[in-house]
Each structure stands twice: as structure tokens, then as C-alpha cells.
Amino acid sequence: MNIVLLGAPGAGKGTQAQKLVEEFGVAHISTGDLLRAAVKAGTKLGVKAKSYMDNGQLVPDKLVVDLVTERLDADDAQKGFILDGFPRNTAQAVTLDSELAAMGRNLDAALLVAVPSESVVARLSSRRTCKSCGYTAPAGVDVCPRCNGEMYQRDDDKPETIRHRLDVYESQTAPLVEYYKGHSILKEVNGDRPVDEVYADVKALLAL
């Protein structure tokens, strides 16, 4: 199972990926997690990435491609992977295809989790994050239930930032839908429903 996950920020891609990982044991490769780890570690790549992320901008292709290619070489990605947040434009998709071909691998499906923009804004802007441990909870939770730390709204979760990210997503990432449709591997699921309903459809679409 080699899958690319598509969908706007906050569409629920990560949740679906986690359920697939738990059931099928494939590697969940999230570019967001890879980038956050690099930023936290203060690597050269992480410092560069942080300047873009702080401004709500997408990190340049070259930085992301290097991170992802390295991750695909890891042992746990050999029996299958779910790419979440990459590729995000057609140039990256072409690069990914050639990198996979060089490894003797290919994509089985591109899964689009489709959710209306206003649903995404409502979902993300209601999220609060613990300053100490990173735990997330809905608005109204002021004290972290895990470590008693202070909960706050990240800049990334403010409505104006979310709308900007959605605009960027539409202009840069949406053409990927056409790219994978042209390769006859696009599968689309309505993500604006309860998680388990979405997951049942995901498995049916992927013939799992």
C-alpha cells in the first residue's frame, strides 16, 4: 500500500492516516511532522523552514523533497507508506514519481479527503494547544488535561491564517487532483462526516 493523501489543511487526513497505520502497519510520513521535528531540533533545514512556517507560507520544494526522500529509505517505509502533505504541487508529484521509480516502487492511489472550506475554518479555529506538551483540545479547555499546562490558540489556528493557508492550498495543491486523475489513481472521499464513516469509505475505495 503506497498512498498519497490529498486534502486541505484540517480536512482530517492525519486522522485517516493514523487509522490505516494502526490497522495495516504502514509508515505514516507527514511532512508537517518531519518539518516540526527539524525545527525543534534546530537543524539547518529546520531553521530555514521555520522562517517560512512562521509567516504562514509553504516551505520550498527542495527542502521538503530532501526530507521526504530520506524518510522513504527508512526500514518501516519498505512495506508501504502513506504520504501526508507531500506532494503539494505537480512539480513535486513528478519528482516523487521519479524518486519512487528509482527505488523500484510506485503509487497505488492518491486519496482526496474533500471538506468544504468553511468546515475547515470552523474545525481548526476552535483548536487549542498546550504550551508545554503540545496536547490539542477544543476551545474552552484552558488547562491541559495531560500536564496542567496553559492552553492557547496557535497563530496557525487563527481564522485569518487558516483562510490564507486554504487560498495557498487551492492555488498550489488543487492541480494535483487533476494530475492524479490523469494517472487514473485518484480516489475521493467526503471527509465532512464522522471519522469512522469516512474510514469505512476509505477502505472500500482502496479495496482493503
181 is catalytic: no
Catalytic residue among 48, 154, 158, 193: 154
Res 64: pLDDT: 87
Res 21: pLDDT: 92
128 is catalytic: no
User: How do residues 138-173 score in pLDDT, each as one tens digit?
Assistant: 888 999 999 999 999 988 888 988 899 898 888 877
Residue environment code for 30-61, b if the CB has 16+ CB neighbours within 10 A, otherwise e: bbeebbbebbeeeeebbebbbeebeeeebbee
154 is catalytic: yes
Catalytic residue among 13, 71, 123, 128: 13
Res 153: pLDDT: 92
Q: How far lies 152's CA from each of 48, 114, 121, 129, 156, in Å?
A: 25, 28, 17, 5, 11
Question: Of the candidates 12, 195, 10, 27, which has an alpha carbon nearest to the alpha carbon of residue 111?
Answer: 12
pLDDT beneath 70: ranges in the chain: none
Res 12: pLDDT: 87
Res 107: pLDDT: 94
88 is catalytic: yes
Catalytic residue among 48, 127, 158, 163: 127
79 is catalytic: no
Res 24: pLDDT: 93
Res 85: pLDDT: 81
Catalytic residue among 71, 123, 165, 187: 165
Catalytic residue among 71, 88, 123, 187: 88
* Domain annotation for the chain: domains and CATH numbers: 2-115+173-205 (3.40.50.300)
